[in-house]
Amino acid sequence: MRVLVLLGAPGAGKGTQAHILARHLGLPRVATGDLFRAAVREGTPLGTAAQAYMERGELVPDEITVGMLLERLAADDAARGAILDGFPRTRSQAAALDRALAERGAAVEAALYVDVPADELLARLSGRWLCEAAGHTYHETAYPPRVPGICDVDGSRLVQRDDDRPEVVRARLEKQLGALAEVVEHYRAAGILQAVDGRRPIAAVTNDLLDSIEPVPYWRTHP
Ligand code: AP5
């Protein structure tokens, strides 16, 4: 079982990279933010419980988040592993993941930390557009779609997220960066942290991430 964890501040590029790595490595991308947003759309009790925290830019409590993630990891398509995008976000989530994997005779292979300074994150999130069908990510100036408002990959409509309003973005950065630092430390102490410079262009970040987990550089197979 191959489990890779993508770490980064809100807007660092976790989702962008997780989609690419998932295709390249043939593993499902499991994103707790997407699971919560789907639950909110469907109006489930879990969605109702999570919504207020998300609107305030706070982390959803571990009691809700851990069970949801472990249930998703138990699905058939994750039997060979997964790329975790946005989980773990607290030290106790990281410990719960370690325990759950150990019960299956597995462990996190690497924690890939996409490092972007705080001053760039606000600009990234306020210009972000996502496709309705699969969450493919664009930026209105840095990475615009070929046709405005339409996803290059699947042709679906592009939308903005409710929590990308400037005041919620500021709250997310204020309230979540401390916990991120603790999770980074958890994986550094375990000797499996791989940090890359997330300010570089998307393809360069992908190359750096793949170089840190695979012996063959990405550009050799994708000239
Ligand atoms: P979640 O959906 O996980 O949001 P997030 O962590 O805030 O991260 P984002 O999705 O906003 O950013 P990203 O790093 O994926 O960046 P992206 O690739 O889109 O979580 C939402 C909420 O759910 C949380 O606030 C919390 O309430 C709750 N939640 C989720 N997981 C939880 C958990 N485990 N525990 C508790 N609560 C949880 O890129 C951003 C923009 O930058 C895009 O426009 C993109 O085109 C652009 N971009 C990407 N890479 C580059 C680059 N290299 N150069 C220039 N621009 C780039």
Does 14 qualify as catalytic in the annotation? yes
For residue 142, being part of any structural domain is answered with no
Task: Report the distance separating Cα 192 and Cα 111, nearest Å.
Answer: 6
For residue 149, being part of any structural domain is answered with no
What's the pLDDT score for residue 165?
87
Q: Which residues contact 67 (CB under 8 A, 6 or more apart)?
A: none
For residue 181, being part of any structural domain is answered with yes
For residue 17, being part of any structural domain is answered with yes
| Ligand 1 pocket mutation, candidates 6, 19, 32, 113, criterion most atoms within 8 A of CB | 32
What's the pLDDT score for residue 119?
85
* Bridge partner residues of 113 (DSSP): 7, 195
Contact in structure between 153 and 145 (CB atoms under 8 Å) = no
What's the pLDDT score for residue 82?
97
| CATH number of the domain residue 18 falls in | 3.40.50.300
What's the pLDDT score for residue 166?
87
Q: From the CB of 13, is ligand 1 less than 6 Å away?
A: yes
Q: Which residues contact 114 (CB under 8 A, 6 or more apart)?
A: 6, 7, 8, 12, 13, 14, 17, 196, 198, 205, 209
Contact in structure between 158 and 46 (CB atoms under 8 Å) = no
* Bridge partner residues of 163 (DSSP): none
Q: From the CB of 113, is ligand 1 less than 6 Å away?
A: no
Does 104 qualify as catalytic in the annotation? no
Counting DSSP H helices and E strands in the chain, the numbers are: 9, 8
Q: How many domains does the chain have?
A: 1
Nearest to 39 by CA among 49, 30, 29: 49
Relative orientation angle of helices 32-42 and 62-73, to the nearest 10 degrees: 100
Q: From the CB of 124, is ligand 1 less than 6 Å away?
A: yes
* Bridge partner residues of 195 (DSSP): 113
The Å distance, Cα 74 to ligand 1 centre, comes to: 24
For residue 99, being part of any structural domain is answered with yes
Range of the domain at 177: 2-28+75-125+166-221
What's the pLDDT score for residue 74?
93
Alpha-carbon separation of residue 132 from 151, 167, 223 (angstroms): 9, 23, 30
Residues of the chain with pLDDT under 70: 214-223
Q: From the CB of 32, is ligand 1 less than 6 Å away?
A: yes
For residue 34, being part of any structural domain is answered with no
For residue 47, being part of any structural domain is answered with no
For residue 60, being part of any structural domain is answered with no
What's the pLDDT score for residue 215?
59
Task: Report the distance separating Cα 65 and Cα 199, nearest Å.
Answer: 29
Q: pTM of this prediction?
A: 0.92
State which ligand 1 atom lies nearest to the alpha carbon of 88: 34
Does 172 qualify as catalytic in the annotation? yes
What's the pLDDT score for residue 218?
53
Task: Report the distance separating Cα 72 and Cα 62, nearest Å.
Answer: 15
Does 161 qualify as catalytic in the annotation? yes
